[in-house]
Structure 1
Amino acid sequence: MTAATADVTPARPRTLRYALILGGLSAFAPLSIDMYLPALPTMVEDLHSSDATLQVTLTGFIIGLALGQLVIGPVSDAMGRRKPLLAGLALYAVMSVLCALSPSAGLLVGFRLLQAIGAAAGVVIARAIVRDLYSGTAMTKFFSMLMLVSGLAPILAPVVGGQLLRATSWRGVFVVLTVFGAALLLAAAFALPEPLPPQRRRSARFGATLRNYWSLLRDRSFLGYALAAGLMFAGLFAYVSASSFVLQDVYGLSPQQFSLVFGANGVGIVLAGQINGRLVGRFFRERTLLATGLTLSTVGGLGVLLAAVFALPLPALLIPLVLLVSSIGLVMPNASSLALAEHPHNAGSASALLGVMQFVIGGMATPLVSIGGAASAVPMGTVMASFAVAAVVVFRTMTRPVRT
């Protein structure tokens, strides 16, 4: 990293406050995507709609999330982080209320699209704020700290949604998301000062924004780190979408046993993230830890595939599965830090591309897993192993060490 971006470490109380707020902002997307999935069958009946139409509410959210990040990232580079963030959080809270009150599937699709644009503000600006406040090893350590909150979100959201449905309807799930968005709006308004001074802001004109994105896409190293993170995210998507069928229908686990396995993997992500924060800068560089995480994920993915192909006992599947899922805690902090390291003056745009790649590539995993059906663990193992191997190939062929 350049001398102008030497490590910055704020005081401990502020660090904890930022970690809680930015971790919550980072969790917007997985919570909003996964928490209501267990309610889809009842929503079909309640809204007198079809499975295909209700699936569009998920597709619409993904589209809104991608477009929202691409727009809000450059806007935050020009206006500062607070105004776009507060506007996005307010939009998210209002749209969550309208989702809860939605009388039809068609309106729900529209509300979900707008809800996603609000959520995009939290996701993209959270990463940009980390780059504004930190650099070098301090940035990687902070991304590792965020794994305490954001790492658990994609794993536990479906479990939380399922438990909520025992006490309320699908509309209650959106009420909970409303409360979550409103709480973060208040926290950001009163406890998150503007991190981007006026002298560091950039133009958000359309031409300048396109040139900025083109410059990032031509940066081979940035693109390599972003693609590696996206491919790992796809492996996580494959696990989230297929593991319930594999572990319950194929291996015979009860819902309670599946929840324990699901939760244990979530804890594995968090522990790996905290180990990463302890090791980085003290014993290893970010690039070394990223390579280690990618290697572990590949070993885990191939182990899952072998266990599935040869119909090995459950422990032979669970051990490499834990290894692969937990490696997310090593990969994501280091890949994010290295991707953003050399882009301090357009962190919003760089964060937007980083996030879009994660969700676009990650979204490919679910249909790929479903092609093979749910009667075997082989489709899940094949997809997870393939994305893990692809991430290693991208890392080795496209990235280079960050300048020091």
Structure 2
Amino acid sequence: MNKATPQSTSNTLTIVVVLAVLSIFPPLATDMYLSAFGDIQTYLSAPDGALELSLSVFFLGLCMGQLLFGPLIDRFGRKGPLLAGAALFCLATVLLLFTRSTSMFIGLRFIQALGACGGMVVGRAVVTDLYEGTAAARTMTLLVMLMTLGPVVSPLLGGILVTQFGWKAVFVTMLAIGALALVLALTLLPETLPVSKRLRTPFLDVFSDYWKLLTSRPFVVPALVSSFVQAAMFSFITASASVFQGVLGLGKIEYGLAFGFVALGLVVASFVNNRLLVKLEVKTVVSAVLPLFVAISFVLLLVSGTHQLLVLIIPLWFSIAMVGLLSANGTSIAMEAARGQSGVGSALVGAMQFGVAFVCSAIVAAAISSSALPLALGILIPAAIAFLLWHFGSASLTSERPAETPNFDQSQATMKAHDGE
């Protein structure tokens, strides 16, 4: 059976928007409650560091959950497991509104993450179902660009909600968006994996599939590069409240504005990346941007002792913008190497990303101090590791551009028609 096309499934842009809404669970559940840490800690009578731990545990849940969803979506199709994950997210969010236990709060955050990661795994797999090569990279970038609207608006939205209505309003909003995404997936998202292509091997055999990919350099190198690039972003998320509110003395809403401004770099860079991929190969963009990422992160390290917002936020903006130029490209290269095992490949990419994010986030959280130094190191060190991995490992990747699907031009025409271009 040929690949599904936007014409035979649904409009490309509609699919991408629905996938972006589903994938927005993690940034919403991660960023929206950051400004409420103090209020939640008081409400739960939680010890110091408990709320930071709930954030790190969320990353761990995203890591482990994706390993579970990968084989499920290859065996049962994309849509069923996705709907189950969205429902689990909504259920955990409801329970978070009523718990008074710190340990229960942390545990529910883990369960919430398990449900949230379904949209991420399915999103990458659906893109691979529909596209190949540069077409996949451009579509993945569009998806990431829409997803990054979450980090841009959610801290500010969270700050407003906490200030006006209290911290529980944040989780009520998460629940409302989760319910909306569940309805959109149920009504608008097609099934892109036909029954004839679903895996029939025993469920436990998936571990051998994971091992095959883990021992494949064309998959592992770009997956690890993408993981360490993403870790830089999560280091920023973990330390942002401490730096913007603790070191620089910003209020809840001011913190949301500052966080949103930095996260806006992801959107701008994702847009630029989509334009670059019209003329350049994916590998070329990664090779050119990684050294720049390291250089800008080093500048951030040099100014990390400042207490002036403008001095710090400019190199921070450009550092995070580099994530938008690198993350989707690394992911698309890895997913191309996992073609034929899109669900398992998507799960493994996601698990690697959030596994590295969990480690980096926990280290940064433990190192929080009265300066931005932990934040700067939490960005520079992953950037340097990503550069070294690519420099020494990219020779194992094919230098040829993968063949594009004959349907990509049609899908782009459809997207342009709906964009009014």
Q: TM-score, normalised by structure 2?
A: 0.86
For 1:151-181, what per-residue CA distance to the aligned partner results, in whole angstroms no more than 9, with x for missing partners? 2323543332222112223222221111111
- Deviation, 1:258, is 4.8
Relative to structure 1, is the Cα distance of residues 13 and 346 closer, same or farther in structure 2, using a 3 angstrom cutoff?
Answer: closer
Out of 278, 292, 296, the residue aligned to residue 292 of structure 2 is 296
Out of 219, 229, 233, the residue aligned to residue 232 of structure 1 is 229
Q: Superposed, which structure 2 residues align to 1:4-403 within 5 Å?
A: 14-51=11-48, 53-203=50-200, 205-247=202-244, 249-250=246-247, 258-280=255-277, 282-308=278-304, 315-399=310-394, 400-401=397-398
Distance of 1:380 and 1:144 partners within structure 2:
26
How many pairs does the alignment contain?
399
- Deviation, 1:76, is 0.4
Distance of 2:96 and 2:183 partners within structure 1:
21
Distance of 1:254 and 1:388 partners within structure 2:
30
Give SS of 1:341's match.
helix
Distance of 2:64 and 2:392 partners within structure 1:
29
Give SS of 2:370's match.
coil
Distance of 1:367 and 1:27 partners within structure 2:
22
Distance of 1:349 and 1:270 partners within structure 2:
28
Give SS of 1:345's match.
coil
Give SS of 2:297's match.
helix
Distance of 2:41 and 2:244 partners within structure 1:
26
Superposition RMSD in Å:
2.7
For 1:295-333, what per-residue CA distance to the aligned partner results, in whole angstroms no more than 9, with x for missing partners? 221121011112236x59765543322221111111112
- Deviation, 1:5, is 9.6
Distance of 2:342 and 2:381 partners within structure 1:
30
- What is the identity, as a one-letter code, of the residue corresponding to 1:341? E
Distance of 2:363 and 2:108 partners within structure 1:
28
Verify the 8 A CA contact 1:77 1:204 in the aligned structure 2.
no
Which stretch of structure 1 is more off in the superposition, 213-222 or 203-212?
203-212
- Percentage of matched positions with identical amino acids: 33
Relative to structure 1, is the Cα distance of residues 92 and 397 closer, same or farther in structure 2, using a 3 angstrom cutoff?
Answer: same
Verify the 8 A CA contact 1:304 1:321 in the aligned structure 2.
yes
Q: TM-score, normalised by structure 1?
A: 0.89
Distance of 1:243 and 1:321 partners within structure 2:
11
Distance of 1:55 and 1:249 partners within structure 2:
14
- Deviation, 1:339, is 0.7
Verify the 8 A CA contact 1:22 1:146 in the aligned structure 2.
yes
Give SS of 1:214's match.
helix
Relative to structure 1, is the Cα distance of residues 74 and 97 closer, same or farther in structure 2, using a 3 angstrom cutoff?
Answer: same
Relative to structure 1, is the Cα distance of residues 13 and 70 closer, same or farther in structure 2, using a 3 angstrom cutoff?
Answer: closer
Which stretch of structure 1 is more off in the superposition, 192-201 or 53-62?
53-62
- Deviation, 1:130, is 1.2
Distance of 1:26 and 1:91 partners within structure 2:
14
- Deviation, 1:115, is 2.0
- Deviation, 1:371, is 4.8
Verify the 8 A CA contact 2:20 2:146 in the aligned structure 1.
yes
Give SS of 1:374's match.
coil
- Deviation, 1:79, is 0.8
- Deviation, 1:391, is 0.6
- Deviation, 1:114, is 2.4
Relative to structure 1, is the Cα distance of residues 391 and 7 closer, same or farther in structure 2, using a 3 angstrom cutoff?
Answer: farther
Which stretch of structure 1 is more off in the superposition, 193-202 or 292-301?
292-301
Relative to structure 1, is the Cα distance of residues 277 and 7 closer, same or farther in structure 2, using a 3 angstrom cutoff?
Answer: farther
